Amino acid sequence: MPISYNEPLQVFRLDTPRTTYLMGLAGSEGFLGHIYYGPTVPDDDMRYLLRLEERPGTPDSNPRDRASFFDCFPFEYPSWGGGNFREPCLRVRTACGGGNCILRYVSHRVLSGKPGLEGLPAAFGAEDQCETLEITLRDAEAGVQVVLLYTVFEDTDAICRSARIENIGDAPLEIDSALSAALDMDNEDFDLITLHGSWAREQNIDRRPLASGKQSAFSLRGISSHQFHPFLALCQRGAGQEHGLVYGLSLIYSGSFLVQAETDQFKQVRAVAGIHPDGFSWRLEAGGRFQTPEAVLVCSDAGLGGMSRSYHDLFREHLIRGQRKRRPTLVNSWEACYFDFDHERLLQLGREAARYGIEMLVVDDGWFGKRDDETTSLGDWRVNERKLPGGLKRLGEELAEMGVQLGVWMEPEMISPDSDLYRAHPDYAMTIPGCSPTLARNQLVLDLTRKEVRDCIYEQISSVLRSAPISYLKWDMNRPLTDVYSGVLPPERQGEAGHRYILGLYELQERFVTDFPAVLLENCCSGGGRFDPGMLYYSPQIWTSDNAEAVDRLTIQEGSALIYPLSAMGAHVAACPSHVNGRVTPFRVRGRVSLPGCFGYELDLDKLSPEEQGLIPQQLGEYEQFGPVFRDGDYYRLASCRENHTYDAFMAVAKDKSIAVVNFVQIRSRAYRRSLRLKLAGLEERSRYRLRGSEEVRTGAGWMNGGLLMEAALCEYFSELAVLERVAD
């Protein structure tokens, strides 16, 4: 059993395939403390790590130093008060305005399987795949009860955590902070890893020594954001791709968030994750409950690669729902024609797609309302018959005759001031009474905290999807939340508006995937501004970045693959010179960079040279042949152009170890005639593998220790796929 309780020792034990998580009760008051999280240990009796025999001891043994105990005890779910001066997970204010909350153990139970979280995306698992531990803590004087949830999976080195806060008193409570999880442990010479960026350069890996004080990644934009990501990792200073101890903390949430590591005066580290407390509050009536988003903890003693593969497995098998099969290849109309198209122009794109065997045409922005530029018509999701006589229905039917599916772009959460919807319902926009609204990209945000607004959006989306043979929807969101205000909440409860917006978004997308299960949903937020696990619960793929230029995409996709499976990344061959940065890269290299993700084209196929057009069948063939390995296999990072500025390499290995594909891209000439040696990973040591296209056969150990020699290419750009296939003995 992955979850057990040693009653004599009062120790809870959680075992994943390769890790152990221990926590226990301290003192007569039953404070729940974190004991150990790391590689599997057989011992339950590791309570010595709580240091209860050291000064100050527990409050019952040393009541005069009660505050000192709270200042250093490794609380499993720390709350504010009593002397806990580190970042708490929970801050409440009672009817008197006081803020102390001292949580003590009450009870626990173990459940088979994993219950869902009301209104929130969360990992899932059947009764034979996982177990869930519920631990109830309580402060009877404050009228607060907290139910901690821990889920352990049989097949993945991940632990899912969340908290349910309950008002068991007679008066309302104000929640000022409700984080999802904390992890207290000694600082083992840790480095901190976070992901940062901006529009068109998302998911840059930042690694730095963990210092004293608080270091955080966060968003206050109402979205998980381009700037930071709801994830952090703590790794031993010398940890690399396949060695060293690494802890990961990821949050399944799509709104404003905080992930933070704090080092205190005792060199203890407290890592936390959850909804950002700034601007957040929640009024909890007597008998009410508040559910935090879910955090995913991963521990790996096989370096960053081990952490990545655990996250990939969890997200593939226990978070992404439906549409997990091969994704269709597509061409998107945006960089081909922007707003300037009509029915015949799109049909011509469709003909070109059909000629090459591309399976789908996606009509991007400009097909609705009076949308000839970005200043108008968001919210008016009706076909512009001037551009598309006969509507999407006629276009979809004519494409279907060619064997090409139809997809469309929408931005359902937004409204243009110049729109019929805004003129009829200006109150549908999220604005603060008495204040001039803040425009971004000439648009405002719809107030998704209101049911009538959500219903209006849904009816428009569903009407479009039912009007034509549409197989794909790209759901975009092109601005942050600035004037955060709910039209249905009183002034004293406006601190709930940001989170209620996200709950409304989740409800809206849940309705969509329930009612249109055959339509492939891709989320987007000006590219990767909301590339997070919460969105993955509703869509199996997310547009990784509006920057599809190959060299920049190598860094963006490396950072994304640190947490997310390759199958989640929208990756297209874009126009050249790049419409984002002007760089010129060969068509072959652009194809190899895009190949591992959800493959497609973002350009005018008519404008390709004959040589480039001749490469399309090869690229589609590689996607068809190697897509299953990239989509479902194990990911190993071999080299990073972010670090060496010259070449990039990773490999994907099938789960049964029968085939491995190495994707190598060179972006700068090495200027010498000497091959490059890549030490491979993830192969069976004793099995023999043949390098396709050659007579080279070596054991897995030989390829991993001796390496693969990559030819010396005396040119700026070069790409190669190396395929190793297991051969029978």
**Distance, CA of 561 to CA of 567 (rounded, Å):** 10
Query: Two tokens at 394?
Result: 């006629």
Go through 22-46 and write b for each residue having 16 or more CB atoms within 10 A of its CB, e for each that does not. Answer: bbbbbbeeebbbbbbbbeeeeebeb
Query: Would you tell me the crossing angle of helices 587-594 and 550-561 to the nearest 10 degrees?
Result: 10
pLDDT at 324: 63
Helix (H, G, I), strand (E, B) or coil at 126: coil
Tell me: domain 3-318, CATH 2.70.98.60, correct?
A: yes
- Examine the pLDDT at 154 and tell me if it is beyond 70: yes
**pLDDT over threshold 70, residue 483:** yes
DSSP 293: P
Give residue 409's pLDDT: 98
The topology (CATH level 3) of 330-543 is TIM Barrel (3.20.20)
Dump pLDDT digits (tens) for 12-21. 999 999 999 9
Residue 323's pLDDT is 61
Rounded to the nearest integer, the mean pLDDT of the chain is 96
pLDDT in tens, 520-565: 999 999 999 999 999 999 999 999 999 999 999 999 999 999 999 9
Q: Give me the amino acid identity at 634.
A: D
Please answer whether residues 259 and 231 qualify as being in contact, where contact means their C-beta atoms are separated by less than 8 angstroms.
Answer: yes
Helix and strand totals (H; E) in the chain = 14, 38
pLDDT in tens, 632-683: 999 999 999 999 999 999 999 999 999 999 999 999 987 777 899 999 999 9
CB 597 within 8 A of CB 544: yes
Cβ-Cβ contacts under 8 Å for 325 (sequence gap 6 or more) = none
Query: Across-strand partners of 32?
Result: 25
Determine the pLDDT at residue 31.
97
The span from the CA of 221 to the CA of 677, in Å, is: 44
Residue range 337-371, pLDDT digits in tens: 999 999 999 999 999 999 999 999 999 999 999 99
b (16+ CB within 10 A) / e for 424-454: ebeebbbbeeeeebeeeebbbbbbbbbeebb
HSE-CB for 633 with a 13 A CA cutoff = 25
Torsion, Cα of 337, 338, 340, 342 (10° steps): 70
Judged by DSSP in three states, 31 sits in: strand
Bridge partners, 663 (sequence order):
650, 721
Asked if the model's pLDDT at residue 325 lies above 90, the reply is no
DSSP secondary structure letters along 224-246: --SSB-SEEEEEETT--SSSB-E
How far is it, in rounded angstroms, from Cα 457 to Cα 475?
12
Helix or strand (DSSP H, E) at 344: helix 343-356
Per residue in 191-203, pLDDT (tens digit) is: 999 999 999 999 9
Domain with CATH 2.70.98.60 in the chain: 3-318
Lowest mean pLDDT among 209-213, 337-341, 437-441, 711-715: 711-715
Residue 442 has pLDDT above 90, yes or no: yes
* CA-based nearest residue to 361, from 412, 410, 408, 411: 408
What pLDDT sits at residue 345?
A: 97
Least confident of 323-332, 383-392, 520-529: 323-332
- Quick count: other Cβ atoms within 10 Å of Cβ 191? 17
Q: Find the length of the chain.
A: 729
Q: What is the mean pLDDT of residues 17-31?
A: 96
Inter-helix orientation angle 497-515/451-467, to 10°? 30
Separation of CA 393 from chain center: 34
Confidence of residue 702 (pLDDT cuts 50, 70, 90): very high
Domain with CATH 3.20.20.70 in the chain: 330-543
Q: Could you tell me if 599 and 332 are in contact, meaning their C-beta atoms sit under 8 angstroms apart?
A: no
Q: Which residues are catalytic?
A: 476, 546
Residue (of 371, 315, 374) closest to 635 by Cα position? 315
pLDDT at 1: 75
Residues 727 and 729: their CA atoms lie apart, in Å, by 6
Measure the CA–CA gap between 51 and 27, rounded to whole angstroms. 12
In 459-568, the DSSP E strands lie at 470-475, 520-523, 541-543
Tell me the average pLDDT across 467-489.
97
Give the gyration radius of the chain's Cα atoms.
27
pLDDT digits (tens, 9 = 90+) for 42-63: 999 999 999 999 878 888 888 8
| 485: pLDDT strictly greater than 80 | yes
CB 177 within 8 A of CB 88: yes
* Per-residue tokens: 654: 């099938």
pLDDT tens digit sequence for 85-127? 999 999 999 988 888 999 999 999 999 999 999 999 999 999 9
- Look up residue 558 and give its two tokens: 């490396």
Query: How far apart, in whole angstroms, are the C-alpha atoms of residue 566 and residue 680?
Result: 19
Residue ranges of the chain that CATH labels 2.60.40.1180: 639-727
For the stretch 128-152, pLDDT in tens is 999 999 999 999 999 999 999 999 9
Q: Strand ranges (DSSP E) for 197-351?
A: 204-209, 213-219, 231-236, 246-252, 257-263, 268-275, 282-284, 289-291, 294-300, 330-332
Q: Residue 255: name the closest of 223, 294, 291 by CA.
A: 223
Instruction: Name the CATH architecture for the domain at 639-727.
Output: Sandwich (2.60)
User: What does 135-171 look like in DSSP terms, one character per residue?
Assistant: EEEEETTTTEEEEEEEEEESSSSEEEEEEEEEE-SSS
